[in-house]
A and B are shown apart, each in its own frame.
Chain A
């Protein structure tokens, strides 16, 4: 089993959650849920809760799919919610960290786990794993309701975010169950035959609004270019204006040789510019590092390459 280090902050966050947290541990077989007890039993266990149910009924599901406009951040949690029979309006989505050993799907063409979101892989390759995870959560919720009511779990049904006893009409919401429920040390197994039939889907196969849309109409969506880190500086690079500029060398097997750094240049003026921090020679060009992007770009434009 592959594990990741757990930071104290995450551990304390988890302890303070309340409700039910279904953690995730992963071997080389893809996403697999585990109980917190199982997670705690493992040194340095990756007890990142994949699914959390709060006593007020809010459900948080992690999404491992990078959102590039194709809807992955919505569709992957939706698969979990379908098998959980979660009320989608009560589901919040959070990102997983970028750690394929924990959050990746199993590469169908190899042995590794991957988080590549490419070629319509995300839904295809996470599909069964996420359905199984959702079904496990549902089973645990039903088992808690059955125990409280003193009835056979097999007689109970679910409606979105509610466990129902058809025999007497009794109902317990997922939030109510989260307030008293426990998660067994070993999560129940789910046979593929126990997954929902297509005709019973409430979410899959329907047009469900994407969750990223509101952030993309008011400027709050965060793109890589929007990230700010403490002490961050900016660089702008200058490359050869022609391809394969390295003199005398062409080795198709070494892609890093397909472009070269200049041999001589004059950066006196650039280094004197206010805000310029450094001029750096790269394997395939030059970079001007500065306090702001426009300074780096102005410095790059002022470089005088002589050969």
Chain B
């Protein structure tokens, strides 16, 4: 049994502590917004926040987050009104959308520590979150919009 804070509520997961956090969240808790892409830490589809830091949940054991604060795409904003979510809609970023939960969580980490990033800051920070549809230009535009409109 592993207990941690997930999206502002206490959860206890009855799983082997070595279970990847991704599957604890998706399968045991039932929050499926966080996606399984490669399972090897290469794509970023499973990106979540642990104590405010963007991490790849497929590469962490659930046991390692005991007592910590985990936020997934479902917990970013209770009303889908985070500036990034609004900007993602305006810029119509997603195509298939499979990577976008991870993209948004990665971008949210950036804006939390650097509210007015340059384009270069954005490109550098987002490097490694892969989108097979190729929505990168819209991702950058949406982050710029979110930074501007707050």
Restricting to A142-187, which residues have a CB under 8 Å from any CB of B? none
Contact B94 A69 (CB under 8 A): yes
Per-residue interface assignment for chain B, residues 8 to 44, with 1 indicating a CB less than 8 Å from any chain A CB and 0 otherwise: 0000000110011001000110111111100100000
Contact B97 A212 (CB under 8 A): yes
Contact B33 A218 (CB under 8 A): yes
Could you tell me the distance between the alpha carbons of A216 and B33 in the complex, rounded to whole angstroms?
A: 9
Contact B27 A292 (CB under 8 A): yes
Could you tell me the distance between the alpha carbons of A219 and B23 in the complex, rounded to whole angstroms?
A: 15
Query: A219's contact among B20, B33, B96, by CB below 8 Å, is which?
Result: B33
Could you tell me the distance between the alpha carbons of A248 and B72 in the complex, rounded to whole angstroms?
A: 51
Contact A219 B95 (CB under 8 A): no
The total of interchain contacts (Cβ-Cβ below 8 angstroms) comes to: 75
Contact A69 B96 (CB under 8 A): yes
Interface of B is mostly: loop
Could you tell me the distance between the alpha carbons of A212 and B97 in the complex, rounded to whole angstroms?
A: 9
Could you tell me the distance between the alpha carbons of A55 and B73 in the complex, rounded to whole angstroms?
A: 37
Could you tell me the distance between the alpha carbons of A274 and B98 in the complex, rounded to whole angstroms?
A: 31
B residues near A196, Cβ cutoff 8 Å: none
State how many angstroms separate the Cβ of B106 from the closest Cβ of chain A: 14
Contact A219 B73 (CB under 8 A): yes
Could you tell me the distance between the alpha carbons of A294 and B58 in the complex, rounded to whole angstroms?
A: 10
A-B contacts, 22 of them at CB < 8 A, read A68-B96, A69-B133, A209-B92, A212-B94, A213-B88, A213-B89, A213-B93, A217-B73, A217-B80, A217-B88, A217-B93, A217-B100, A217-B104, A218-B76, A219-B31, A219-B34, A221-B97, A225-B32, A226-B32, A292-B27, A294-B23, A297-B39
- Give me 12 other A-B pairs in contact (C-beta within 8 A), A209-B89, A293-B23, A294-B15 excluded: A68-B96, A70-B95, A213-B88, A213-B89, A214-B89, A217-B89, A218-B33, A218-B77, A219-B33, A220-B33, A292-B19, A292-B28
Residues of B within 8 A of A (CB): 15-16, 19-20, 23, 27-28, 30-36, 39, 72-74, 76-77, 80, 84-85, 88-89, 92-98, 100-101, 104, 133
Residues of A within 8 A of B (CB): 68-70, 209-210, 212-223, 225-226, 228, 274, 292-294, 297
9 smallest CB-CB distances across A and B, nearest first, come from: A219-B33, A69-B95, A216-B97, A69-B96, A216-B94, A226-B32, A219-B73, A218-B80, A294-B23
